[in-house]
Amino acid sequence: METEYSGNYLSNREWFRNVLKGQNVILCYTSALECHELFLGYINEKQIDVYALEKGEYTNINYYVVDSFDGIETVRFGDLVCTSINQTVNDMLADFDNIDEQSFIEGLGTYYYTNGKSFDNLEILPENMEQFNAIKDWAIEYWDE
């Protein structure tokens, strides 16, 4: 079974709130970028990325099953819980070969330009630094094209 798509809503946050209501999940990856408004999303989007303690019923939700939410840095937007910007960036860097690269590069580029043309406030983990250095120029140049 699939959830509703984003095209039925005025914002991605409204879509997330409705679709995820009552579920014990944390928005992550591209969905977290959308929640932080670093990536605007796709037209009539149907995929949602979440950390969950168990796989749910919806086929268009990517359930990244974790043993516990302990150690996952989160922020709240009302009743939505999503990974912090630092957590989101580090998670996506660590899983770079399996992520939505378009959303990530756009999200990093938006972060860069909305933070005074700087990545200084990002706390990149040492194990992710090589990947970050390999792609940060793509993000900087993203909005110049």
Whether the predicted pLDDT of 145 surpasses 80: no
Q: Residue 33: inside a domain, yes or no?
A: yes
Query: With bands split at pLDDT 50, 70 and 90, how would you rate the model's confidence at 11?
Result: very high
Note whether residue 145 is domain-resident.
no
Whole-number pLDDT of residue 57: 93
In a domain, 61, yes or no: yes
Range of the domain at 25: 6-140
Residues 6+ apart with CB under 8 A from 106: 38, 39, 139, 142
Interval 26-43 mean pLDDT: 96
Specify the number of domains making up the chain.
1
Q: Is residue 1 part of a domain?
A: no
| pLDDT tens digit sequence for 43-71 | 999 999 999 999 999 999 999 999 999 99
CA angle 135, 16, 61 (to 5 degrees): 70
Whether this model's pTM surpasses 0.85:
yes
- 5: CB partners within 8 A, 6+ apart: 15, 44, 45, 46
